[in-house]
């Protein structure tokens, strides 16, 4: 999973992960004609780390009475030709786009690398766990955008962080490094409280329900 040496900026690929599967499925590229020659896959340690982390998040939530999740995810670099758009807006940070066949987590390489550098391995994990939390809400039939959904997703992130605390290194700046960009101080305070609520519920089999019912 996330290691400081894995800050590759190689081109990202689209992958697929299911919360119910032990190992995420990876689509196989098929040549469209005899003139198309197969290419050697580009080594992308950062993408491999993202894939492993999302797969582990899915495994943890499969033990917490959470809804089944199917999603795609793709890396990009902001302000570059490969930067995707979501609902007509170009993305600059890690986010989940809904509206296609399945939700897509677009993870921004610079953001995850910076979080890793400032807050150790757990910081980019928290960023990804938040987005997975939004997809849990979507899969449950709940809104994935807005203040309350954001707080619930933060609670879900707290659940996973506590459940996986022995898998990723952390330091005193881990949560702050994963929470850059929020200038709304009251919301930031509520978001931190929601995260701590999730950490407290991590040992519960009904952790998903606990976050849904928590007074956030």
Do the strands 85-86 and 89-90 form a parallel or antiparallel pair, or are they unpaired?
A: antiparallel
Output the pLDDT for position 15.
41
Please indicate, yes or no, if residue 88 is contained in any of the structural domains.
yes
Give pLDDT, residue 128.
Answer: 98
pLDDT of residue 184: 72
Q: Does residue 73 form part of some domain?
A: yes
Give the tokens for residue 29. 């590229």
Residue 46 resides in a domain: yes
Residue 32 has a pLDDT of 32
Count the domains in the chain. 1
pLDDT at 201: 97
Q: How confident is the chain (216 residues) per 10-residue block, as mean pLDDT?
A: 42 39 36 43 84 97 95 94 89 93 95 95 97 98 95 98 96 93 78 96 97 95
Residue 196 domain-assigned (yes or no): yes
Length in residues, the chain: 216
At 183 the pLDDT is 59
- In this structure, is residue 194 part of a structural domain? yes
3-state secondary structure 112-134: HHHHHHHHCCHHHHHHHHHHHHH
The two beta strands, 89-90 and 70-76, are: unpaired
The label of the residue with tokens 């390489």 reads: 109
Asked whether residue 104 is domain-assigned, the answer is yes
The answer to whether position 7 is within a domain reads: no
Domain with 155, as residue range(s), is 15-213
Question: Residue 70 falls within a domain, yes or no?
Answer: yes
């Amino acid at each position: 999973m996330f290691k400081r040496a894995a800050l590759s900026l190689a081109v990202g690929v689209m992958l697929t992960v299911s919360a119910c599967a032990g190992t995420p499925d990876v689509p196989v590229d098929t040549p469209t004609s005899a003139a198309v020659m197969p290419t050697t896959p580009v080594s992308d340690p950062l993408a491999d780390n993202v894939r492993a982390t999302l797969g582990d998040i899915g495994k943890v939530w499969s033990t917490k009475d959470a809804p089944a999740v199917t999603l795609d995810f793709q890396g990009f670099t902001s302000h570059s030709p490969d930067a995707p758009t979501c609902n007509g807006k170009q993305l600059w940070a890690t986010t989940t786009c809904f509206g296609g066949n399945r939700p897509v987590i677009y993870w921004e390489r610079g953001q995850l690398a910076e979080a890793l550098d400032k807050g150790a391995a757990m910081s980019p994990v928290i960023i990804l766990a938040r987005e997975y939390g939004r997809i849990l809400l979507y899969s449950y039939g709940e809104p994935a955008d807005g203040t309350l959904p954001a707080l619930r997703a933060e609670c879900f992130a707290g659940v996973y962080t506590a459940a996986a605390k022995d898998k990723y290194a952390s330091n005193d700046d881990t949560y702050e490094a994963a929470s850059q960009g929020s200038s709304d101080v009251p919301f930031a305070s509520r978001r931190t409280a929601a995260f701590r609520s999730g950490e407290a519920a991590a040992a519960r089999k009904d952790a998903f329900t606990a976050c849904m019912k928590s007074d956030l």
